[in-house]
Amino acid sequence: DAGITQSPRHKVTETGTPVTLRCHQTENHRYMYWYRQDPGHGLRLIHYSYGVKDTDKGEVSDGYSVSRSKTEDFLLTLESATSSQTSVYFCAISESEQVLTQFFGPGTRLTVL
Amino acid sequence: AQKVTQAQTEISVVEKEDVTLDCVYETRDTTYYLFWYKQPPSGELVFLIRRNSFDEQNEISGRYSWNFQKSTSSFNFTITASQVVDSAVYFCALRGISGSARQLTFGSGTQLTVLP
């Protein structure tokens, strides 16, 4: 299994508070991704990174920001959480543009009250 | 924009039955990649297979087989002699090579329940 961890695994927070989710990999893969999973929608891409300090938006990026200061860590921040951001968040990694398969972390269940 | 449709929201079968999960995709790219992932009740996402658009050979791995047909834009997944442990949500996904299509687009998933 790919070495991907996510923290925290579960979080309950209140509307308006900032939240940061962390994804850590030990595979030294170049690409990292954040997805959210909601019933009826499958997984949707929030942001991704193609290298240290190189990030770009995905399909559902509004209300989220990311940072990648080291190869192994990719942070997802909700600046002011809303109830619509209640979801399960998955981090994924892939080795390169040529090696396309993405491997996923265990997920973080976030509840915004 | 690319799209993946998994029309079967839920399927229920009895153990040892064969079951096919359908996946239909849309893309403008002539080169693309198709994937299947499994999400068991524990919640993690497990990679099952990747298929390139230029390789239309069907693939078999144990009880699993995949039927890729470019003519109908389908990449169906068959489980032979299903087992209770096959109960999971299965996602089909598509990745193109141009612009935003280079990102992975998922279908909404098919919940498979295998009854003992």
pLDDT, tens digit, for every residue of A81-109? 999 999 999 999 998 777 679 999 999 99
pLDDT of B49 reads 92
Tokens of A25: 């990999």
A1 HSE (CA, 13 A, CB side): 10
pLDDT tens for B9-48 read 999 999 999 999 999 999 999 899 999 999 999 999 999 9
Model confidence at A31: pLDDT above 80 = yes
pLDDT of A40 reads 81
Exposed/middle/buried for residue A39 (C-beta within 10 Å: 0-12, 13-18, 19+): exposed
Q: Which of residues 20-79 of B touch A (CB under 8 A)?
A: 33, 35, 37, 43-45, 47, 50
Cα–Cα distance, B76 to A61 (Å, whole number): 31
Note the Cα B104 to chain centre separation in Å. Answer: 13
Q: A48, B37: Cβ pair inside 8 Å? A: no
Angstrom distances, CA of residue A27 to CA of A17, A71, A94, B106: 32, 9, 9, 24
pLDDT tens for B56-100 read 788 888 999 999 999 999 999 999 999 999 999 999 999 988 777
Q: B91, A104: Cβ pair inside 8 Å? A: no
**Per-residue pLDDT band at B102 (split at 50, 70, 90):** confident
Model confidence at A1: pLDDT above 60 = no
Model confidence at A76: pLDDT above 80 = yes
The average pLDDT across A43-68 equals 94
pLDDT of B103 reads 86
pLDDT of B55 reads 84
**Per-residue pLDDT band at A2 (split at 50, 70, 90):** low
Residues 6+ apart with CB under 8 A from A103: A1, A2, A4, A27, A92, A93, A94, B47
Residues in chain A: 113
Name the closest residue on chain B to residue A5, using Cα atoms: B44
The average pLDDT across B87-114 equals 91
A→B interface, C-beta within 8 Å? 33, 40-45, 48, 58-59, 88, 90, 92, 100-104, 106-107
pLDDT tens for A8-22 read 999 999 999 999 999
Note the Cα B56 to chain centre separation in Å. Answer: 15
Are A21 and A7 a contacting pair, CB within 8 Å? yes
Nearest by CB to B106, which of A43, A100, A101?
A43
